[in-house]
Amino acid sequence: MNDSLSLRNRLNTTVRDIPRSGIRDFFDLVTTMKDVISLGIGEPDFDTPWHVRESTVFALERGATHYSSNFGYLDLRRALARYVAKTFGAEYNPENEVLITVGVSEALDLALRALLNPGDEVIYHEPCYVSYRATILLAHGVPVEVETRAENGFRLTRAMLEAKVTPRTKVLMLNFPNNPTGAVAPLSFYEHLSELAERYDFAIASDEAYSELWFDEPPPSALQVRDRSRVIVFQTLSKRSSMTGYRSGFVAGDPLLIAALKQLRPSIGVAPQTFVQRASIAAWGDEGHVVETRARYRAKRDLLLPAVRAAGLEPAGGDATFFLWCRTPGGEDAEACAERLLARGLVVAPGTFFGAGGEGHVRIALVPTLAECERAAQAFATLG
Chain residues binding ligand PLP by CB under 6 A are 42, 103-105, 129, 175, 179, 207, 209, 236, 238, 244, 249
Distance in Å, CB of 241 to ligand PLP, minimum: 11
Nearer to ligand PLP, 101 or 328 (CB): 101
Q: How far is CA 79 from CA 35, 148, 259, 280, 309, in A?
A: 43, 36, 19, 9, 42
Q: In sequence order, what are the residues at sequence separation of 6 or more whose Cβ sits closer than 8 angstroms to the Cβ of residue 68? A: 271, 274, 277
Distance in Å, CB of 325 to ligand PLP, minimum: 13
Does a cis peptide bond (omega within 30 degrees of 0) precede residue 19? no
Nearer to ligand PLP, 88 or 129 (CB): 129
Nearer to ligand PLP, 364 or 377 (CB): 364
Distance in Å, CB of 8 to ligand PLP, minimum: 28
Handedness of CA 248, 252, 257, 262 (dihedral sign): positive
Counts of helices then strands in the chain (DSSP H, E): 14, 13
Distance in Å, CB of 198 to ligand PLP, minimum: 26
Q: Which residue is nearest to ligand PLP (CB)?
A: 103
Nearer to ligand PLP, 52 or 209 (CB): 209
Handedness of CA 183, 185, 190, 192 (dihedral sign): negative
Distance in angstroms between the alpha carbons of the first and the last residue of the chain? 55
Nearer to ligand PLP, 105 or 352 (CB): 105
Nearer to ligand PLP, 121 or 207 (CB): 207
Distance CA 103, CA 47 (A): 18
Distance in Å, CB of 249 to ligand PLP, minimum: 5
Q: What are phi and psi of 318, to 5 degrees?
A: -95, -170
Does a cis peptide bond (omega within 30 degrees of 0) precede residue 177? yes
Distance in Å, CB of 184 to ligand PLP, minimum: 13
Cβ atoms of 250 and 235 within 8 Å: the answer is: yes
